[in-house]
């Protein structure tokens, strides 16, 4: 039976799309359907078709912080574009679509002189993904900025949750998979463009010193309380350890690098080896920050 997805207005549909080109890891099989969704109306229609056809679905932004299975994904992969990439501002309050790239949001904050989000500099991805995973750095997280989060459930109904109605924890939130983040409202403070730019440049320089080059999904494991995952991995002598073309970075222990031809199974095997070794040598259980999509 043919799917109704290709006939939904406001959506660009690609079939059997290679997902490795859409992820920072450059790993993963094909998606049955890859959808660029350009408006809320189109998203509602897509969700209706998905429900009627009983398709699993996945939402990705820039494809960071995810590892896609080698077998690919059986349903529909959604990426929010068009209206979801718009930004509006009232004073120092920004209303942004979930598809807005963090880098573009910071550029706008610099342009208008709104400070407080500089710690996000260098974090790849979109605001939607950042909100769901409570992205952060330098001791701060995006939850510190949030005023409201705009959501759509699987029936296409919209809802708004305030910051206090969401349980944010370290690199996580209680926004379940039954909801799609469509936008976020964030409150910044008045500053000067020059000082904000200088702060961003300092943060970028600090990240560049410790972050390796190569294909990766960023920090693979969450930092356990009071410790740094990368430090624990280094203590255990795991820098440079590899499975296939997946390798623990020699520059930063909490990065798994795809040297060019790594498969998801290689990354998962290496990650499990890291977890077991760290647990045996330190008694600490590492938890993955990167999400596996399968």
Residues catalogued as catalytic: 171, 219, 289
Under the phi-then-psi rule, with left for phi > 0, alpha for psi from -120 to 50, and beta for the rest, what region is 139?
A: left
Kindly give the pairing relationship between strand 256-258 and strand 246-248.
Answer: antiparallel
C-alpha distances in Å from residue 19, one per residue of 37, 220, 294: 17, 19, 12
DSSP 286: P
The Cα–Cα gap between 181 and 171 comes to 16
Distant-in-sequence contacts of 291-294, Cβ < 8 A, 24+ apart:
291/65, 291/66, 291/67, 292/66, 292/67, 292/69, 292/264, 292/268, 293/28, 293/58, 293/60, 293/66, 293/67, 293/68, 293/69, 293/73, 294/68, 294/69, 294/71, 294/73
Q: How many CB atoms lie within 10 A of CB 256?
A: 31
Q: Are 68 and 62 in contact (CB under 8 A)?
A: no
């Amino acid at each position: 039976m043919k799917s109704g997805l290709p006939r939904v207005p406001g959506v660009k549909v690609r079939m059997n799309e290679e997902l490795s080109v859409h992820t920072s890891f450059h790993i993963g099989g094909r998606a049955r359907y890859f959808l660029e969704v350009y408006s809320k109306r189109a998203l509602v229609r897509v969700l209706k078709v998905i429900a009627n056809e009983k398709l699993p679905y996945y939402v990705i932004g820039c494809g960071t912080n995810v590892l896609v299975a080698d077998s690919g994904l059986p349903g529909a992969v959604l990426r929010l574009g068009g209206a979801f990439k718009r930004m509006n501002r009232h004073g120092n309050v920004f209303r942004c679509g979930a598809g807005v790239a963090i880098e573009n949001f910071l550029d706008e904050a610099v342009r208008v002189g709104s400070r407080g989000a500089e710690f996000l500099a260098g974090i790849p991805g979109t605001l939607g993904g950042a909100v769901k995973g409570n992205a952060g750095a330098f001791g701060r997280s995006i939850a510190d900025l949030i005023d409201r989060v705009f959501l759509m459930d699987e029936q296409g109904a919209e809802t708004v949750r305030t910051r206090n109605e969401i349980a944010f924890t370290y690199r996580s939130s209680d926004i379940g998979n039954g909801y799609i983040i469509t936008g976020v409202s964030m409150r910044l403070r008045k500053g000067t463009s020059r000082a904000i730019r200088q702060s961003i440049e300092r943060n970028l320089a600090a990240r560049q010193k410790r972050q390796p080059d190569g294909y990766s999904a960023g920090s693979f494991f969450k930092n356990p309380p009071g410790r740094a995952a990368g430090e624990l991995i280094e203590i255990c002598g795991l820098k440079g350890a590899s499975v296939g073309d997946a390798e623990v970075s020699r520059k930063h222990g909490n990065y798994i690098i795809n040297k060019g031809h790594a498969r998801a199974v290689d990354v998962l095997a290496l990650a499990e080896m890291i977890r077991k070794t760290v647990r045996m040598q330190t008694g600490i259980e590492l938890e993955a920050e990167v999400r596996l999509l399968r």
